[in-house]
Amino acid sequence: DGGITQSPKYLFRKEGQNVTLSCEQNLNHDAMYWYRQDPGQGLRLIYYSQIVNDFQKGDIAEGYSVSREKKESFPLTVTSAQKNPTAFYLCASSISGDAGELFFGEGSRLTVL
Amino acid sequence: DAKTTQPPSMDCAEGRAANLPCNHSTISGNEYVYWYRQIHSQGPQYIIHGLKNNETNEMASLIITEDRKSSTLILPHATLRDTAVYYCIVDALYNFNKFYFGSGTKLNVKP
Could you say which of A42, A97, A107 has the minimum Cβ distance to residue B42?
A107
- When pLDDT is cut at 50, 70 and 90, the band that residue A95 belongs to is confident
DSSP letter for B81, please. Answer: G
Could you say which of A40, A88, A99 has the minimum Cβ distance to residue B49?
A99
**B102 contacts in chain A (CB < 8 Å):** 42
Cβ-contact A95, A29 below 8 angstroms: yes
Over the stretch A61-92, which tens digit does the pLDDT of each residue have? 999 999 999 999 999 999 988 889 999 999 99
B53 burial level (CB within 10 Å; 0-12, 13-18, 19+) = exposed
What does the pLDDT read at residue A99? 52
